[in-house]
Structure 1
């Protein structure tokens, strides 16, 4: 008898009648979304790094003033501290615009396509790749976790 752990979970199985080309195409769409998710992470890293840099510029300006260099301190304070990184925008505004626009729309389109073509199932392409690559019956190669894991 085959244990449940030797079969992919139902939510990762290809719906009846779905062609290989469809699974591949939806897999490519999911891959594109994952790439955008990675880019979003870099955008958030940029946001945090620019915030840190702004605080460091403020500290540098203050240290210059305290060490007897008021002109360069004033220049940094007025020209760079608190400056927009893009026209009219700090990085939080860039992040919000990206999240509310491109990222949200792509996520919705990816979901609509999955709903229409794969009954909403996620990572069917990857689940099938796992099935093709794993050594069935070998510890550490189970199709899915034990119940309750």
Structure 2
């Protein structure tokens, strides 16, 4: 048999001297960051959905006014349309604060941990998990690196 070419590349192999506990901790930090990335996407979705709803209120105000309900049109137009979803914060400000604060710090600490402990390598835990599964004959949930099935 020839040399295996479908395993993880060097960027996804554990450096010498790195413990299982360190790889597991980095894997858990990476998993947590992935959750935060998903939450960030939902935050952007909220920002866009609220903005779209606010634009639709223009039509609702016009339609209430045309239907003879100026009191509702006025209240929606003055109290709801353009209102901040959190006191003093537009949705884009919430997104910016999240990005510049919590998200930036999370990414910084993830990068620092990887740089200090494994030379910046990513997804070591996942790469090793896939190799363990393959060595037991279990399929992974993704194709192998290099395009193999």
1:143 Cα deviation (Å)? 3.9
Stretches of structure 2 that go unaligned for 5 or more consecutive residues are: none
Stretches of structure 1 that go unaligned for 5 or more consecutive residues are: none
Moved over 6 A (4+): none
Pair 1:68 & 2:50 matched: no
Q: Which residue matches 1:145? A: 146
- Backbone CA RMSD of aligned residues: 2.2
Counterpart-to-counterpart distance in 1, 2:10 and 2:38:
28
Q: Do 1:24 and 1:125's aligned partners in 2 also have CA atoms closer than 8 Å?
A: yes
Moved more, 54-63 or 76-85: 54-63
Note the 1:1-149 alignment, pairs <5 A: 1-5=2-6, 7-134=7-134, 143-146=144-147
**What does the per-residue CA deviation read over 1:44-86, in whole Å, with 9 as the maximum and x for residues that have no partner?**
1111111111112221111111222111101100000000111
Counterpart-to-counterpart distance in 2, 1:13 and 1:143:
14
1:142 Cα deviation (Å)? 6.3
Are the structure 2 counterparts of residues 95 and 142 from structure 1 closer, same or farther at C-alpha, using a change threshold of 3 Å? closer
Counterpart-to-counterpart distance in 1, 2:129 and 2:59:
52
Aligned length: 146
Three-state SS of the structure 2 residue aligned to 1:145 is: helix
